[in-house]
Amino acid sequence: MGFPDVRLRRLRRTPAIRRLFDAPPPPPAKFVWPLFVVEGERRCEPIASMPGQNRMSVDVLLRTLEPVAAQGIGGVLLFGQTEGAKDAGGSGAFDARGVVQRAVPAIKRAFPELAVMTDVCLCAYTAHGHCGPLDRHGQVDNDAANGLLARVAVSHAAAGADVVAPSAMMDGQVRSIREALTENGFEQTLLMAYSTKFASSLYGPFRDAENSAPSAGDRKGYQASYGHPRTALRESEFDEEEGADILMVKPALFYLDVLAEVRRRTDLPVAAYNVSGEYSMIHAAAERGWGDLHAMARESLAALDRAGADLLLSYWAPLYRDLFG
């Protein structure tokens, strides 16, 4: 049976009818807000390439989180940086007095309902901007990096982080971190692997925010190639075998096919990182009058939810009520 007896427009004729059949928006508890934490007090520095996002000292961050937490947002993902001397091994990343290590307990005291996640990497702390120390050939030393990443993760867990999230894309980093957490009595700490993370052109605004661009070369030697997605999928398989509790696809909107495939292959929770470039592109389009800001944001987030994401790591998180009511 077909037209004229079947008329699909009947199912979308009015707003009331559409509400009956449309999928509900992802709830606020599924959203995680990535945040940039800096040293000092009373600091709130707008990030020019990411409208509405700021680098914040801990005191400002706590005030900013009040209305966000009240919306029921699920958690935050903290990115730190050092304003001291950077070194070849990024030792500031595992300093017990570092800004992330101090921000974690402050947030947990003020907002016990939020899950506190921390990015585990070295790029914002190394003098050369890469995600691990360099060998004599100028390449990232994978195994040496793993030992340092494990120290970072343990320092975050000791501060009280609920979830540590290694993003350096070193082979074996999940195993190294899982073993170190267990050896130090943090076997209950969740490990969210940036398991399928691509060497993407969409990280520019983030690198501005974190001051973490490499001083030479790029990260294509350790981040996955968008032209070889099968190898990228193997990254997620290995991370699951090594003890990850949550897998992640990053970026998200340009990789919905990969996100859906990771969801199909695993029973672990899957996170989608809606990265800085994706966020800023929508803002740029809206500023030029090429679309409605909130409508484009809602549609993009619905796509991630539809592709199978259990968690949405997104800079849109603090605007949840504005987007979805």
Residue 48: other Cβ atoms inside 10 A: 11
More confident position, 90 or 64: 64
Q: What is the pLDDT of residues 261-296, one digit of tens each?
A: 999 999 999 999 999 999 999 999 999 999 999 999
Nearest to 28 by CA among 60, 61, 76: 76
Residue 231 CA to residue 211 CA, distance in Å, equals: 29
> What are the extents of the domains in the chain?
26-324
Residue with tokens 């409605």, as numbered in its chain: 292
What integer pLDDT is reported at residue 318 of this predicted model?
A: 98
Q: What is the pLDDT of residues 315-325, one digit of tens each?
A: 999 999 999 98
* Residue 120 scores a pLDDT above 70: yes
C-alpha distance from residue 166 to each of 55, 174, 191, 247, 272 (Å)? 21, 7, 8, 11, 15
Residue 196 CA to residue 169 CA, distance in Å, equals: 9
CATH superfamily ID and name for 26-324: Aldolase class I (3.20.20.70)
pLDDT band with cut points at 50, 70 and 90 for residue 56: very high
pTM attached to this predicted model: 0.95
Active-site positions read: 197, 250
User: Helix, strand, or coil here: 259?
Assistant: helix
Q: What is the pLDDT of residues 235-259, one digit of tens each?
A: 999 999 999 999 999 999 999 999 9
Contact 237, 270 (CB under 8 A): no
The strand pair at 54-56 and 44-46 is best described as antiparallel
Nearest to 122 by CA among 76, 83, 77, 87: 87
